[in-house]
């Protein structure tokens, strides 16, 4: 696994890609959507599935709750949060739904978020507000806003006594922007407003311990940058709220309280959770800091070469707001991918015609290409995309 640094990017990792099942004929430049599970982690999960299928009754009834708790302690330790104040959930949007329905919203209450929020989270907020009579209010924040401007916008948008929850991203999905989450939480606390931090991309990518953010609720996926099997996320809840957290579906551990009442969902396939420590083992084996540095540098390189190919001046390439961010976005030509449907269609076309999996986002009426960096990527994959993409876009 040795390598050297050239322009901030680790090279000499050619064989790392062999640790993944990815199609070698495709450039996988969108790790941020669904991740990629290393082969060793896949095998660990398969061994757990084999154990489950060899004797389902024994697997589910003899010690599974304790095994889940042990896994939670392992993951919480890595993320820097209290294991007893955390619960395993299927993904970030599930954790968001749990928090929303546990608040007891009423008519006249409001849930405050920003226009950088993840689409499914926004839909969850809207649904809960429709169900309860509460109101969803969205704060517009310019893409180039400084951390101070973001904090000031949030401060001005809070309505103490009416704002029952503030939902902010730690790292946004559509705009690849690192938000000053800890500072935002501090401002909200001054006004008595609880905060839910959507940290879908944080575990494994960002080094910030959960406790240092101080949010009332924090939820992040480990199946993106933590190499865990899909369907693995952790919801952290501060002590005053734990007794109020209710699962979306009641099962046999309901009377055990938080977190067991949230984690136990009867015949759920728990093998993804139980195999998650193998993902963190992989990350640690590669070197956590080295992987983070490599991924961020490679994403920045991809943004530069593709941006240059599309005629985007360097000054117009959005800054993610932090050195560890392995997501980068590039503006697409005006009028392209201005709707979600158009963005999805273009993403599919790029995948089929250029053999490159990327993310195409529509945000505030503008189309954006999102690239990621991961250990299985190489600089020439971004270079090939840069050479071929302009011609494809010209065919619209």
DSSP code string of 8-44: TEEE--GGGGGGB---TTSEE--HHHH---BHHHHHH
Secondary structure (DSSP) of 354-380: H-EE-EEEEETTEEEEEEE--TT--HH
Average pLDDT, integer, range 7-14: 48
Quote the pLDDT of residue 299. Answer: 98
**Cα separation, 300 vs 80, whole angstroms:** 27
Residue 67 reports pLDDT greater than 80: yes
pLDDT of residue 7: 44
- Token pair listed for 117: 């929020």
Of all residues in the chain, what percent carry a pLDDT higher than 90?
Answer: 93
Assess whether pLDDT exceeds 60 at residue 6.
Answer: no
* pLDDT value of position 266: 83
Mean pLDDT of the chain: 95
28-64 confidence digits (pLDDT tens): 999 999 999 999 999 999 999 999 999 999 999 999 9
What separation in angstroms does the CA of 244 have from each of 163, 174, 297?
Answer: 18, 31, 42
The per-residue b/e assignment along 15-25, b for 16 or more CB within 10 angstroms, e otherwise, is: ebbebbebeee
Domains of the chain: 4-20+287-394 (3.90.1150.10), 42-280 (3.40.640.10)
Tens digits of per-residue pLDDT, 172-202?
A: 999 999 999 999 999 999 999 999 999 999 9
1 versus 256: the higher-pLDDT residue is: 256
Residue 13, pLDDT > 70, answer no
Per-residue pLDDT of 89-98, as tens digits, reads 999 999 999 9
pLDDT at residue 1 is higher than 80:
no
Beta partners for 165? Answer: 111
Token digits for 32? 């941020």
Mean pLDDT over 310-315 rounds to 96
What pLDDT is recorded for position 167?
A: 98
pLDDT-derived band at 205, boundaries 50, 70, 90: very high
DSSP 211-266: HHH--SEEEEESSSSS-PPSS-EEEEE-GGGGGG---SS--TTGGG-TTHHHH--T
Residue 44 to residue 278: CA distance in whole angstroms: 7
**Tens digit of each residue's pLDDT (9 = 90 or more) over 225-236:** 999 999 999 999
Higher-confidence position of 13 and 250: 250
Q: Give the per-residue pLDDT at 14.
A: 67
| Closest of 395, 371, 346 to residue 27, by C-alpha | 371
Tell me the per-residue pLDDT of 96-142, one tens digit each, with 9 for 90 and over: 999 999 999 999 999 999 999 999 999 999 999 999 999 999 999 99
């Amino acid at each position: 696994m040795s390598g050297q640094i050239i322009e901030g990017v680790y090279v000499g990792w050619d064989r790392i890609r062999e640790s993944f099942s990815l199609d070698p004929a495709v450039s996988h430049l969108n790790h941020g959507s669904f991740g990629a599970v290393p082969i060793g982690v896949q095998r660990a999960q398969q061994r757990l599935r084999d154990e489950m299928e060899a004797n389902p009754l024994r697997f589910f009834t003899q010690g599974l709750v304790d095994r889940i708790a042990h896994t939670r302690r392992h993951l919480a330790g890595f993320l820097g949060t209290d294991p007893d104040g955390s619960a395993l959930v299927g993904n970030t949007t599930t954790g968001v739904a749990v928090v929303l329905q546990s608040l007891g919203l009423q008519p006249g209450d409001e849930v405050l978020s920003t226009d950088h929020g993840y689409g499914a989270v926004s839909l969850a907020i809207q649904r809960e507000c429709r169900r309860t009579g509460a109101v969803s209010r969205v704060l517009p924040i310019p893409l180039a806003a400084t951390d101070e401007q973001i904090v000031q916008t949030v401060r001005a948008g809070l309505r103490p006594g009416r704002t029952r929850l503030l939902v902010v991203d730690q790292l946004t999905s559509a705009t690849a922007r690192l938000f000053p989450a800890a500072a935002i939480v501090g401002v909200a606390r001054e006004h008595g407003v609880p905060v839910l931090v959507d940290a879908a991309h944080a575990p494994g990518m960002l080094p910030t311990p959960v406790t240092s953010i101080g949010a009332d609720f924090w939820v992040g996926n480990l199946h993106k940058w933590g190499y865990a099997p899909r369907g693995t996320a952790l919801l952290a809840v501060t002590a005053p709220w734990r007794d109020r957290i209710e699962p979306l579906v009641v099962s046999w551990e309901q009377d055990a309280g938080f977190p067991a009442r949230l984690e136990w969902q009867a015949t759920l396939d728990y093998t993804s959770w139980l195999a998650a420590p193998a993902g963190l083992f992989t990350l640690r084996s590669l070197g956590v800091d080295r992987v983070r540095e490599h991924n961020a540098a490679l994403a920045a390189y991809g943004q530069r070469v593709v941006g240059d190919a599309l005629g985007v001046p360097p000054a117009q390439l959005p800054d993610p707001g932090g050195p560890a961010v392995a997501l980068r976005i590039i503006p697409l030509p005006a009028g392209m991918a201005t709707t979600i449907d158009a963005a999805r269609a273009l993403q599919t076309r790029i995948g089929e015609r250029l053999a490159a999996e990327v993310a195409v986002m529509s945000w505030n009426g503008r189309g954006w290409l999102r690239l990621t960096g991961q250990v299985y990527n190489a600089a020439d994959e971004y270079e090939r995309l840069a050479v071929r993409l302009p011609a494809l876009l010209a065919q619209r």
